[in-house]
Amino acid sequence: MKFLEHPPRFLFFTGKGGVGKTSVACATAIELAENGRRVLLVSTDPASNIGQVFGLTIGNTVTPIDAISGLWTLEIDPEQAADAYRERIIAPVRGLLPDRELASIVEGLSGSCTTEVASFDEFTNLLTDDSLLETYDHIVFDTAPTGHTIRLLQLPGSWTEFLDAGKGDPSCLGPLSGLEKHKAVYAAAVAALADPDRTRLVLVARAQASALAEIDRTFGELHQIGIPGGYVVINGVLPDKAGIEPIATAVRNREAAALNHLPASLAALPTDILELKAGNMMGVGALRTLFRAGTDGDTPPQSMVEVPDAPLGRFVDELEQTGHGLVLCMGKGGVGKTTIAAALAVALAERGHPVHLTTTDPAAHLVDTLHGSLPGLRVSRIDPVEAIAEYRDNVMATKGKNLDDDGRAALAEDLLSPCTDEVAVFRQFSKAVHESRHEFVVVDTAPTGHTLLLLDATGSYHREISRQMGDSMSFVTPLMRLQDPALTKVLLVTLAETTPVLEAEGLQQDLERAGIHPWGWVVNNSIAAAHPETPFLQARAANEATQIAEVFARADRVAIVPLLAEEPVGVDKLAALTALASQPA
């Protein structure tokens, strides 16, 4: 492995959920330890399963891996860290502020920025503690801090003064107010990250356009703030032993196309490609095979996996009963939200209903394919870049006009947060929400429950609408419509893999905090539902069974969409998705 040549003290692994960061980090730690190095493996991933991988209970204490001499592990629980962090900020004002204002503060500290800042506060010690540096030759991190968090730590001036002076209404600077270490400590941690002699960044992806785009964005962010270099690991590439059945051939073609269009910045970096293995990367024996092609041996014949009968068409049958409504397709990037949203929109339009499909998908090929090609179906695309730029410009021109240079720098950085992006795009979504009273509106990529609660807790939409309509008139806000199960149906789209399912569970909890209960789940691109023929793919299908059972345990209703030999682009192929019946094997 190129990224293991002359490794520095710190190795950070980053990438989208579900690409195999944890497996690559664990295999790296084993490789280093078996070469005589003393290694600490640390996870800050909310969906971490290091304990599962090694068959141990680890938690927030350094735990030795008995099977590997010289290897210890530590799991920083991001949610536990964030809970303690929030309490430090909220405790002094509890009982002093009105409930409404306290709710606003609590929700402002409930987003991903708070979790990441709290985690960074925890592992700063690992970057700067001299005693730890004397104990371990290498510290391997599963999940690196984003460029956004690091830039926040580099801001001039004082975050606390900025907040106390009431200079902004920030989503990420608020979490920073709970940091207790001196800025010099954070400066030392950032310096360690920026020193290639001490730190190596490893960008992990699958051979998929969305996963590659994610690490390209991360690399650009980190490079911009002085963290140079990087190594690329393309994980899970389908091996020759998967055979030449149509599904295998199609997957290889998609992977080749993604790698042939690798962003120029990534193409210039040292790259390693890892084969997909037949089994899950669980246990030391399996992890030892990850970096070695063909080491998992021949796959024995598998019995066919039984897949529950859960066709997507049943969702359409139920959705159309009301004659109109809002359908929100939500989930992490790369799970196929756009495809599912388009398939549902096509099916409803073909049944004679007026449908508006709106998407924030940067790859607008579905919009191009569908536009004007089906009676009753109107397609629009919200450009996130334009929406976010317009929103940031407006905030800087209003809230930022009376700030000093440090204040404007702080506000500008806060406006780069993921929460700001969602708020900006939600302003566009709210128009579509209103339309759903008279037609079907299918939305690809919806705001999270945290964003909705943040808007509601501050009362921004309520106050704005009250001013427009007058106190004596009743009104309905977009959030109130989203909370109405008769009008709004939220679908969580996932893959039958551990991390995507865990992330969808987290999204469901987030929405339920906002009073929105998901209507159903869609398991997309299921190998098991495609009934593969070769032993290798049958073994992969067997690995899906546990995750599909997890989904059924958590969802009110489930649809399973098989992995297809041809990508479902175009009206006919999208219509076929809702006509497929996933019959039991």
Model confidence over 306-359: pLDDT tens digits? 888 899 999 999 999 999 999 999 888 778 888 899 999 999 999 999 999 987
Phi then psi for 248, rounded to 5 degrees? Answer: -65, -45
Q: Is residue 523 part of a domain?
A: yes
pTM above 0.85, yes or no: no
Task: Give 136 or 335, the one with higher predicted confidence.
Answer: 136
Q: Are residues 236 and 349 in the same domain?
A: no
Among candidate residues 15, 18, 174, 331, the one labeled active-site is 18
Q: How far is CA 288 from CA 37, 50, 353, 571, in A?
A: 16, 15, 55, 45
Length of the chain: 585
Per-residue model confidence as pLDDT tens digits over 230-262: 999 999 999 988 889 999 999 999 999 999 999
The rounded percent of the chain whose pLDDT value lies above 70 is 86
Among candidate residues 14, 15, 17, 23, the one labeled active-site is 23
Among candidate residues 14, 16, 17, 20, the one labeled active-site is 20
| Residue 524 pLDDT greater than 70, yes or no | yes
Among candidate residues 14, 17, 22, 336, the one labeled active-site is 22
Among 60-64, 187-191, 448-452, 493-497, top mean pLDDT goes to 493-497
Among candidate residues 110, 149, 499, 534, the one labeled active-site is 499
pLDDT at 102: 79
Q: Is residue 295 part of a domain?
A: no
CA distance 182 to 21: 31
Contacts of 562 (CB under 8 A, 6+ apart): 525, 526, 527, 529, 530, 531, 580, 582
Residues 315 and 557 sit within 8 Å (Cβ to Cβ): yes
Q: Are residues 270 and 322 in the same domain?
A: no
Phi then psi for 278, rounded to 5 degrees? Answer: -70, -35
pLDDT at 318: 95
Confidence label for 37 from pLDDT (cuts 50, 70 and 90):
very high
pLDDT at 585: 34
Residues 497 and 547 sit within 8 Å (Cβ to Cβ): yes
Confidence label for 480 from pLDDT (cuts 50, 70 and 90):
confident
Does 23 participate in catalysis according to the annotation? yes
Q: Is 412 exposed, middle or buried (0-12, 13-18, 19+ CB in 10 A)?
A: middle
Q: Are residues 272 and 344 in the same domain?
A: no
Segment (H or E) for 221:
helix 209-224
Residue 227, helix vs strand vs coil: coil
Q: Are residues 282 and 317 in the same domain?
A: no
pLDDT at 266: 92
CA distance 297 to 303: 18
CA distance 471 to 282: 60
Q: Is residue 535 part of a domain?
A: yes
Q: Is 556 exposed, middle or buried (0-12, 13-18, 19+ CB in 10 A)?
A: exposed
Does 66 participate in catalysis according to the annotation? no
Q: Which single residue is written with the structure tokens 């503690």? A: 129
CA distance 204 to 230: 11
pLDDT at 580: 65
Among candidate residues 21, 277, 332, 489, the one labeled active-site is 21
pLDDT at 197: 92
CA distance 276 to 485: 41
| Alpha helix (H) residue ranges in 436-564 | 449-458, 460-469, 478-482, 498-513, 535-554
Q: What is the mean pLDDT of residues 509-535?
A: 91
For 523, the token pair is 């398991």
| Residue 579 pLDDT greater than 90, yes or no | no
Q: Are residues 114 and 215 in the same domain?
A: yes
Q: How far is CA 167 from CA 163, 388, 421, in A?
A: 6, 21, 20
User: CA 312 from chain center: how many Å?
Assistant: 24
Q: Is residue 305 part of a domain?
A: no
pLDDT at 168: 55
Q: How many domains does the chain have?
A: 2
Minimum mean pLDDT among 158-167, 214-223, 248-257: which range? 158-167
pLDDT at 276: 92
Q: Is residue 431 part of a domain?
A: no
Does 18 participate in catalysis according to the annotation? yes
Per-residue model confidence as pLDDT tens digits over 538-564: 989 998 998 999 999 999 999 999 998
Picking from 255, 271, 288, the residue at the C-terminal end of a domain is 288
Task: Give 108 or 266, the one with higher predicted confidence.
Answer: 266
Q: Are residues 172 and 247 in the same domain?
A: yes
Q: Are residues 282 and 372 in the same domain?
A: no
Q: Is residue 460 part of a domain?
A: yes
> Any idea what DSSP says for residue 526?
E
Task: Give the count of beta carbons closer than 10 Å to the beta carbon of residue 492.
Answer: 28
For 368, the token pair is 């191009």
For 541, the token pair is 């299908």
Minimum mean pLDDT among 59-73, 355-369, 498-512: which range? 355-369
| Alpha helix (H) residue ranges in 351-446 | 365-370, 384-398, 405-414, 418-435
Confidence label for 33 from pLDDT (cuts 50, 70 and 90):
very high
CA distance 501 to 560: 13
pLDDT at 583: 40
pLDDT at 366: 57
pLDDT at 454: 63
pLDDT at 138: 95
Q: Are residues 194 and 336 in the same domain?
A: no
For 42, the token pair is 């640390």
Does 325 participate in catalysis according to the annotation? no
| Residue 362 pLDDT greater than 90, yes or no | no
Task: Give 391 or 350, the one with higher predicted confidence.
Answer: 350
Residues 152 and 86 sit within 8 Å (Cβ to Cβ): no
For 240, the token pair is 């020759």
pLDDT at 86: 85
Q: Are residues 347 and 280 in the same domain?
A: no
Residue 307, helix vs strand vs coil: coil
Q: Are residues 174 and 321 in the same domain?
A: no
pLDDT at 313: 94
Question: The dihedral of CA 299, 300, 304, 305: what is its sign?
Answer: negative
Q: What is the mean pLDDT of residues 384-407?
A: 83
Per-residue model confidence as pLDDT tens digits over 430-478: 777 778 888 999 988 766 766 676 666 555 544 555 555 555 555 566 6
Does 289 participate in catalysis according to the annotation? no
pLDDT at 76: 82
| Residue 163 pLDDT greater than 90, yes or no | no
Q: Are residues 327 and 467 in the same domain?
A: yes
Residue 207, helix vs strand vs coil: coil
Domain that holds residue 39: 2-288
Residues 100 and 447 sit within 8 Å (Cβ to Cβ): no
Does 360 participate in catalysis according to the annotation? no
Confidence label for 300 from pLDDT (cuts 50, 70 and 90):
low
**DSSP string for 253-318:** HHHHHHHHT--HHHHTS-EEEEEPPSS---SHHHHHTTTSTTTT-PPPP-PPPP-----THHHHHH
- The CATH number of whichever domain residue 201 belongs to comes to 3.40.50.300
Does 376 participate in catalysis according to the annotation? no
Q: Are residues 111 and 222 in the same domain?
A: yes
pLDDT at 582: 42
> Any idea what DSSP says for residue 446?
-
- Average pLDDT of the residues of the chain: 83
Q: Is residue 408 part of a domain?
A: no
Contacts of 398 (CB under 8 A, 6+ apart): none
Among candidate residues 14, 15, 16, 45, the one labeled active-site is 45
Q: How far is CA 583 from CA 237, 254, 559, 580, in A?
A: 29, 26, 12, 9
The rounded percent of the chain whose pLDDT value lies above 90 is 33
Q: Is residue 417 part of a domain?
A: no
> Any idea what DSSP says for residue 363?
-
